[in-house]
Amino acid sequence: MVEANKLLRELKKKAKEDGIPIMSDKGIDYLTTFILKNKINTVLEIGTAVGFSAISMALVNPKLKVVTIERDEERYMEAVKNVKKFDLEDRITCIFNDALNVKLDDKFDLIFIDAAKGQNINFFERFSTNLEDKGFIITDNMKFHGYVDMPEEEIKNRNLRGLVRKIKEYKTYLEENDKYETEFSDIGDGLAISTPRID
């Protein structure tokens, strides 16, 4: 475990140097604590990058299994390499594909959405059928580095403005969703925690 922690620190450092947008420390702390508290044993992750969050989740719960999807080939290859380094091949399955082309039959205790921010509604709609009845869907980057709370006219970049608008739309979609109840948290880069409504 000491070895794993050291490896994880190295992985985090390298990912940051390479400009890979891995989850913030506070976000990861929240996610791993959430996994333990809610006895999460199966996770579907959309957006592997190089495997940092998948590996962090697997390390905190030795029973945990993760299926994680990445569409960027180089990142996927790096993730596979990292998973091997941690000896987690039997618990972390990496899929190389665009998540919007992936159809899964399994059910998961937790679905973690952390991929293209403009596609969140599509990811949510596509994979919510893979959620266990008492499962959770957690979405990262709801604040998108603070831009979501900024007046729109202050965001000069057109693409960025479009992306922020999409995140706001997703927020409204979650707020108005009558099948899921969502809590928004300011932790890290902002998280949305959704769970099926029981009526």
Binding-site partner at residue 89 among ligand SAH, Mg ion, none, CB < 5 to 8 Å by type: none
The pattern of x and - marking residues 113 through 152 that bind Mg ion according to CB under 5 A reads -x-------------------------xx-----------
The answer to whether residues 48 and 54 touch, using CB atoms and an 8 Å cutoff, is yes
Binding-site partner at residue 115 among Mg ion, ligand SAH, none, CB < 5 to 8 Å by type: ligand SAH
Nearer Cβ to Mg ion, position 130 or 141?
A: 141
Q: Least distance to ligand SAH from the beta carbon of 51, Å?
A: 7
Nearer Cβ to ligand SAH, position 106 or 175?
A: 106
Binding-site partner at residue 141 among Mg ion, ligand SAH, none, CB < 5 to 8 Å by type: Mg ion
Place of tokens 């006895």: 39
CB atoms within 10 A of CB 89: 11
Separation between Cα atoms, residue 68 and residue 43, nearest integer Å: 8
The answer to whether residues 89 and 65 touch, using CB atoms and an 8 Å cutoff, is no
Nearer Cβ to ligand SAH, position 96 or 180?
A: 96
Q: Which residues sit at the interface with ligand SAH, rule CB under 6 A?
A: 21-23, 47, 49, 52-53, 69-72, 75, 98-100, 114-116, 119
Give the DSSP per-residue string, 18-83: TT--PPPHHHHHHHHHHHHHTT--EEEEE--TTSHHHHHHHHH-TT-EEEEEE--HHHHHHHHHHH
The answer to whether residues 94 and 48 touch, using CB atoms and an 8 Å cutoff, is yes
Q: Least distance to Mg ion from the beta carbon of 148, Å?
A: 13
Strand partners, 45: 68, 112
Q: Least distance to ligand SAH from the beta carbon of 128, Å?
A: 16
Binding-site partner at residue 71 among Mg ion, ligand SAH, none, CB < 5 to 8 Å by type: ligand SAH
| SS3 at position 131 | strand
Q: Least distance to Mg ion from the beta carbon of 47, Å?
A: 7
CB atoms within 10 A of CB 196: 17
Question: Contacts with Mg ion in 59-118 (CB under 5 A)?
Answer: 114
Residues that bind Mg ion in the complex, under the rule CB under 5 A: 114, 140-141
